[in-house]
Structure 1
Amino acid sequence: MIHNYFLDNDLGITDMARLPIMRTLYSHFYFGGFPMERFDHVADNRYRKAALTRLGSAIGRPLDVDVRVNVTPPDAQRRMVEADARLMASLRDILIEDVRFFERYAEGR
């Protein structure tokens, strides 16, 4: 539904980010009102191996940190967006509620 709206209205990435449901997708739509403290483990995927090692220790079972499933394939357009500091700063400003939510709960912060 959102994907179709994006396509039908020829939205750019910042236009998409400004949609109310996208601006607070995690903090309100997915997790709004849920007591995040109930999660025993929330991790930042950038530090996946260390997080999985800690999780394995916590559950008393080593996890194979090299196993990766559902990995997003490399994409030139995504790399271009990530390399654009001005665009990334704009997206951070637009999505600041979700950014702060992530920073508050992601492990290692």
Structure 2
Amino acid sequence: MQRERTNETSLRVVSKEKDSIIVEMINYDNTLLRTLVEEILKDDQVIEARYYIKHPIIDNPQIYVKVKSGKPQAAIKRSIRKLSKLYEDLGAQVEKEIEKYRSNHIIKTTE
């Protein structure tokens, strides 16, 4: 399918079998998809996970996931939840460090 020309991200199920799924990732960055596939591969129920792009200019990337048991879309959801939690924790840690930096670098003035 030809690449959509908007900035909005979405996805579309291209095909679905009992133990596998192919999902087209519309307007997603390769960096994000690589991280997602790496997380999916950590799942014990996953046999295979990869993403590919037929043509880098006209096609959207697709993710393929095959599982031993369970639903392949569940493996994707589990991985997204784990990454979401990871980035949420990272964001909180950055905020904490910024506050610590600010409190240690306040310029004290005397009147």
Q: Fold conserved (TM > 0.5)?
A: no
> Which structure carries more helix by proportion?
1
TM-score range normalised by the length of the shorter chain: under 0.3
Larger Rg: 2
Which one has a larger percent strand, Structure 1 or Structure 2? 2
Q: Which has the higher contact order (CA 8 A, sep 6+)?
A: 1
Q: Could you state the TM-score of these two structures normalised by the residue count of structure 2?
A: 0.18
